[in-house]
């Protein structure tokens, strides 16, 4: 499973890129607003840090304006994935950009029917939002299972399932069991993946016992 970080904070992106385990970055207008940074130069900086796909979302909702915005975004770098909303105009743009060799991430997916449309439009990624479904008492992970199953039925669908709106490590582990290709997670959730109390306890004991030997490997 690939790990993307869902943030526009450069310090977090640099920190996680240094682990060697980061495969890409996703941003959205809310994250850009939170960063306080100017959008296009920020995406450029992120692209210089991370080699994998960097999602940059169009701001408009009408096709002609989204098309113009997408032209600017895809020129930032070859590994920019233009993010479009799951609307008729968004999917029309997705089909055109995908046919032209640009990666597209279709966002705000809340149903399997929507995911089917995105695959037919040639999306590189479909972003189903698990946490926001959980928030309204629908099981977000059920949606991941449905999409993975549907995509597996058709060899000619190349769209990767990018699990979004991830709130906890269980969302990631359960999605990985289902075979979802990517999880995009807030930095805090990626860091939580490392944690287990028995790891901490075991390591403390090993350190203490090693000191008793009086040895040094170096």
Q: Which of 2, 34, 83, 92 is catalytic?
A: 83
In the block, tokens 């058709």 appear at 154
Least distance (Å) from ligand G3P to the CB of residue 201?
Answer: 32
Residues that bind ligand G3P (rule: CB under 6 A) add up to a total of 9
> In this structure, what token pair is assigned to residue 1?
């499973």
Out of 5, 17, 22, 26, the only residue in the binding site for ligand G3P (CB under 6 A) is 26
How far apart CA 157 and CA 72 sit, in angstroms, is 27
The one-character DSSP state at 213 is H
Q: What Cα–Cα distance (Å) separates residue 158 from each residue in 22, 175, 183?
A: 22, 18, 17
Q: Which is nearer to ligand G3P, 131 or 179 (CB)?
A: 131
Residue 165 binds ligand G3P, judged by CB under 6 A: yes
Least distance (Å) from ligand G3P to the CB of residue 164?
Answer: 4
Give the count of alpha carbons within 13 A of 197, CB side only.
Answer: 0
| Among candidate residues 35, 13, 31, the one with its CA nearest the CA of residue 23 | 13
Q: Which range binds ligand G3P by CB under 6 A, 36-44, 66-74, 129-137, 202-210?
A: 129-137
Respond yes or no: is residue 14 known to be catalytic.
no
Q: Which is nearer to ligand G3P, 159 or 204 (CB)?
A: 159
Residue 129 binds ligand G3P, judged by CB under 6 A: yes
Q: Answer for the pair 66, 95: CB distance below 8 angstroms, yes or no.
A: no
Least distance (Å) from ligand G3P to the CB of residue 43?
Answer: 14
Out of 2, 79, 92, 132, the only residue in the binding site for ligand G3P (CB under 6 A) is 132
Stretch 169-188: interaction string toward ligand G3P, x if CB under 6 A: ---------------x----
Q: 69-108: which residues touch ligand G3P (CB under 6 A)?
A: none
Degrees, nearest 5: CA angle 120-124-130: 90
| Among candidate residues 43, 40, 9, 28, the one with its CA nearest the CA of residue 129 | 28
Environment class of 103 (CB within 10 Å of its CB; exposed 0-12, middle 13-18, buried 19+) = buried
Residue 131 binds ligand G3P, judged by CB under 6 A: yes
Q: 145-164: which residues touch ligand G3P (CB under 6 A)?
A: 164
Residue-level length of the chain: 218
Residues that bind ligand G3P (CB under 6 A): 6, 26, 28, 129, 131-132, 164-165, 184
Which residues are marked as active site? 83
């Amino acid at each position: 499973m690939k790990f993307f970080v869902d943030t526009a904070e450069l310090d977090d992106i640099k920190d996680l890129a240094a682990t060697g385990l980061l495969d890409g970055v996703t941003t959205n207008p809310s994250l850009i607003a939170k960063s306080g940074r100017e959008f296009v130069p920020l995406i450029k900086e992120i692209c210089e840090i991370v080699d994998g796909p960097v999602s940059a979302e169009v701001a408009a909702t009408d096709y002609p304006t989204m098309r113009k915005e997408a032209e600017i975004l895809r020129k930032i770098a070859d590994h920019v994935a233009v993010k479009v909303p799951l609307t008729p105009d968004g999917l029309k743009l997705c089909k055109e950009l995908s046919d032209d060799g640009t990666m597209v991430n279709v966002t705000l997916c809340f149903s399997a029917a929507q995911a089917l449309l995105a695959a037919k439009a040639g999306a590189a990624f479909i972003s189903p939002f698990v946490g926001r479904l959980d928030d309204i008492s629908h099981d977000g992970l059920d949606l991941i299972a449905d999409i993975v199953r549907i995509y597996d039925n058709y060899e000619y669908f190349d769209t990767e399932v990018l699990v979004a709106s991830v709130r906890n490590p269980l969302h990631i582990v359960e999605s990985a069991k289902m075979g979802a290709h990517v999880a995009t997670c807030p930095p805090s959730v990626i860091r939580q993946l490392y944690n287990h109390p028995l790891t901490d306890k075991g390591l403390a004991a090993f350190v203490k016992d090693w000191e008793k030997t009086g040895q040094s490997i170096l």
